Amino acid sequence: MARSKPPENALNTPANARFKVGDRVRVKDLPNLFYTRTQMYVRGIVGTIAACTYQDVIPEDEAFNRDGRLEQYYIVRFRQKDLWPEYQFDNDTVQTESPERWLDPVDN
């Protein structure tokens, strides 16, 4: 199962990846319908690419057995304070994984 493999060379950016480690991205706020794995709490929030992991089928396809369309996955790091304004500690972060289509570039 590809998804459970540890990221290999996760800090290297594959040639065809849209984003590289350190890029700032905003998670798209697409409508939910039937299935997704993009959490509501990261929608519209800006984070930083922490790793380029691997290419895999996106959840929205795999959930309905549409195999074959591979997409680059990234680990995106968010500041806890950006997610939860009442959060008390400035330096804490949380990371989630996302396929490329859910991410928009943010000008640095």
Partner 1 sequence: MSARNELRHQQELIASLQPALHVPQNWNYEVDGPLYTAYVHPPHDVGGQFDVPVVYEEKEEEQWELDTYVTCEVLGWRGVWNSEERRRRADNDLGYALYVGVPYYGRWILSAARMLVDKNHVPLTELVEKIAEVKSRYGKK
Distance CA 65, CA 1 (A): 15
The answer to the question of residue 89 lying near partner 1 (CB under 8 A) is no
**Could you tell me the smallest distance in angstroms from the CB atom of residue 6 to partner 1?**
17
34 close to 85: Cβ distance less than 8 angstroms? no
Distance CA 60, CA 37 (A): 8
The answer to the question of residue 87 lying near partner 1 (CB under 8 A) is no
**Could you tell me the smallest distance in angstroms from the CB atom of residue 37 to partner 1?**
8
The answer to the question of residue 3 lying near partner 1 (CB under 8 A) is yes
Binding range to partner 1, per CB under 8 A, among 6-14, 16-24, 35-43, 97-105: 35-43
Question: Which residue from 24, 45, 55, 62 is in contact with partner 1, where contact means CB under 8 A?
Answer: 62
Six token digits for residue 32: 């939910």
The residue type found at 3 is R
